[in-house]
Amino acid sequence: MDILIGFLGVSLAISVGVAWFFGSEYRKKTGFALAFFNHSSKLLTRYEYPGAQKQGLKPGMYNFALRSDRPFETMAGIDITIPLLGRGFDPIGVGTSHMNELGQHEIVHRTYLGNGPVIFVWVHNSGMPVTVTLLANEDDRLPTIHTPPHWFQKLGFFS
């Protein structure tokens, strides 16, 4: 019995150490990127989604339209805060712009919008300004970036 308790204690200590290591590595990976692009604001576009009720929407899949006068590529992500680890950038997709019917370069990002607030972040490779519009109506455009909901978001958790 004493051997079992000792083994469990050592296993727990090793597990906590490994979890701490991976958590700090994740923090380093995401934290520096967000800080760098916040200083280079021409490369960063943010959209603060307040939640479905405050936005006047039902939870579900919606499109964002990112538009610019010049071709661009973008990396889509979410500005996240992890307790005890801090703030970071969680990348969720990458896309390349195409010309739309109005003659603008556009990326359509289709993602799940739930009840909770989310800060979406798009990091661009062009110094030209990029505007973001939430398309609340049904839209038949094919998305350039598609990020379906996680199973727990469909159940109403963390969404």
- Is 115 among the domain residues? yes
User: Does 140 fall in a domain?
Assistant: yes
Residue from 152, 142, 127 nearest 37 by CA: 127
Q: What is the CATH number of the domain that holds 135?
A: 2.60.120
Series of mean pLDDT values for 10-residue runs along the chain (159 residues): 86 89 72 57 84 87 92 89 74 90 91 88 86 82 86 69
| 120 inside domain | yes
Residue 145 pLDDT: 92
Indicate whether 96 belongs to any domain: yes
Is 55 within a domain? yes
- pLDDT (0 to 100) of residue 109: 94
Is residue 159 in a domain? no
* Residue range of the domain that includes 41: 3-154
Query: How many domains would you assign to the chain?
Result: 1
In a domain, 50, yes or no: yes
Give residue 110's pLDDT.
93
pLDDT at 107: 95
Residues 6+ apart with CB under 8 A from 109: 63, 64, 66, 76, 93, 95, 122, 143, 144, 145, 147
Task: Examine residue 47 and state whether it is found in any structural domain, yes or no.
Answer: yes
